[in-house]
Amino acid sequence: MLVIGVLLSILLVSNVYSTRIFSNGQVQYNQPWMWRGGNLNQQHYNQLWASRNENLRKQQYNQPSTWRGGNSNQQLQIKPGSNKVTTTTERVTKTSNPACDFVIPSKPDFRAPGRRISVAKCVEYIWERNNREDISTKVKNCQKTLPIGDFRTTVVGGRDALPGEFPHMGGVGWRAREGTWIFKCGCSLISSKFTLTAAHCSKSARDTSVQNAVPEIVRLGDKNIIDVFSNNLLPRDSKILRIIVHPNYSSPKKYFDIALMEIEEIKSFTSNVQPACLWGQFDTSSLGTSATLTGWGVIETATKKTSPKLQAATVDIINSEQCNALLRPSCNRLWCGVVDHQICGGKLSGGLDACQGDSGGPLQVKIPLRESSEGSIHIIIGVTSFGIGCALPDSPGVYTRVSSFIDWIESIVWRE
């Protein structure tokens, strides 16, 4: 167990996210069973570091030479130079200016015997992020040495965007009867061709506001779901090619609530659009006692007011025994107790929760890499599924546990 703790300790959350006040008052819910999508508001929360172990607090994140994951006896090298696979590099056109003469490394193959493909891909995403930052820095240094007439902002895209806080976050869109799109669920980009979401987001039955029951697009790279631009960039709308619902899911029951959406391939990742990693172990204690949920869902349950801006909030991970004790009084034919493939999260004091509209979004922990203009990378531990009411005291939300479906996900997303 000590080995596992050491292996996973660097995955501790290091950021504090801002949220709004959740104002549900004394709302009476006529239909207490509500699919989650989350109002991500809270009255207050403490600094995340305050709840962390001191030894984890002192981890050196600026140069993460290794990251351990997968089996407890396997070590993943993040630095491409330490990978067994020989890599090649591409040299930029030779110039008389040393600042403009540098090489662009080819991407290593991080696969190895005994290594989960999802773990290898996670390390690949981290390498790509760091490589983009390194190249951007070198290009900027080169530009500083050039005459004014030779300065080309198009080399770096002409933007000074803020770091992407949740660049894997996507909105699942249905074609509206009037207007363009209605985003009723969230999802997470996990590869260049797949997003992860909830199974109940595969259809929107009996909704007269949409043309078809099945969603058609995934919108990525947008903090404001109704704006045309996000950080001066157009969001990416990718067509959904197919939806793969877990074979054990049976609507409207609330078990096995997980699905994959294959989308048009994302040709390149940026600070605003890049995949998240997947947590492949049942035990999440090495990640800390809290996680972050995100979505564009309901922020005021009394008025059903939604937020066009992506909301984020930190919730506590609630153990299954306590969660069962709190929620079992609401047992019915659709759900009657937390099972192994579900995980609970929330604030037992109330006031902070996921709510309608954010189903399918991630429950995630930020990987503590060095801060970068190329965005953050998170590791997903759960998929927003359902809850009883919204932000009620002693009513944690229920999420689909990603680790329980890692074999199924890998067999589809990274099919050899």
Question: Would 326 be classed as within a structural domain?
Answer: yes
| DSSP code for 391 | S
CA neighbor of 360 nearest in space, from 289, 222, 210, 258 = 258
Residue 205, domain CATH: 2.40.10.10
Lowest-confidence pick of 72-76, 150-154, 175-179, 283-287: 150-154
Task: Tell if the pTM clears 0.85, that is, is over it.
Answer: no
Roughly how many angstroms between the first and final C-alpha of the chain, as a whole number?
33
Question: Would 13 be classed as within a structural domain?
Answer: no
Question: Would 410 be classed as within a structural domain?
Answer: no
Q: Which of 222, 257, 316, 353 is catalytic?
A: 257
> At residue 107, does pLDDT exceed 80?
yes
**Alpha-carbon dihedral sign for residues 266, 297, 173, 291:** positive
How far is 345 from 384, CA to CA, in rounded Å? 10
Question: Would 196 be classed as within a structural domain?
Answer: yes
Q: Are residues 246 and 285 in the same domain?
A: no
How far is 96 from 108, CA to CA, in rounded Å? 29
Structural domain range at position 315:
34-48+276-404
Token pair in block for residue 188:
């997470």
Q: What is the pLDDT of residues 293-314, one digit of tens each?
A: 888 764 443 445 566 778 888 8
| Residue where a domain terminates, one of 124, 156, 188 | 156
Q: Which of 359, 376, 395, 403 is catalytic?
A: 359
Q: What is the pLDDT of residues 112-162, one digit of tens each?
A: 999 999 999 999 999 999 988 888 777 777 766 654 422 222 221 122 223
Q: Are residues 287 and 340 in the same domain?
A: yes
250 catalytic, yes or no?
no
Question: Would 234 be classed as within a structural domain?
Answer: yes
Q: Are residues 291 and 390 in the same domain?
A: yes
Sole residue written with tokens 């003469």:
101
Residue 204, pLDDT score: 85
Token pair in block for residue 229:
């631009």
| Residue where a domain terminates, one of 263, 293, 328 | 263
359 catalytic, yes or no?
yes
Question: Would 161 be classed as within a structural domain?
Answer: no
Q: What is the pLDDT of residues 243-253, one digit of tens each?
A: 999 999 999 99
Q: Which of 168, 200, 246, 341 is catalytic?
A: 200
Q: Are residues 255 and 290 in the same domain?
A: no
The neighbour count for residue 161, using CB atoms within 10 Å, is: 17
Alpha-carbon distances of 171 from 84, 221, 241, 373, rounded to whole Å: 38, 9, 15, 23
Q: What is the pLDDT of residues 43-90, one digit of tens each?
A: 322 332 233 333 333 333 333 334 444 333 333 333 333 333 333 444
Question: Would 18 be classed as within a structural domain?
Answer: no
Sole residue written with tokens 């930052």:
133
Q: Are residues 394 and 280 in the same domain?
A: yes
Number of domains within the chain: 3
Cα dihedral angle (69, 75, 78, 82), rounded to 10 degrees? -160
Residue 306, pLDDT score: 60
Question: Would 184 be classed as within a structural domain?
Answer: yes
Looking at the DSSP assignment, which residues form a beta bridge with residue 384?
A: 399
257 catalytic, yes or no?
yes
CA neighbor of 276 nearest in space, from 387, 216, 197 = 197
252 vs 96, higher pLDDT: 252
55 vs 268, higher pLDDT: 268
How far is 46 from 62, CA to CA, in rounded Å? 24
Residue 206, pLDDT score: 78
Residue 263, pLDDT score: 98
Q: Are residues 43 and 98 in the same domain?
A: no
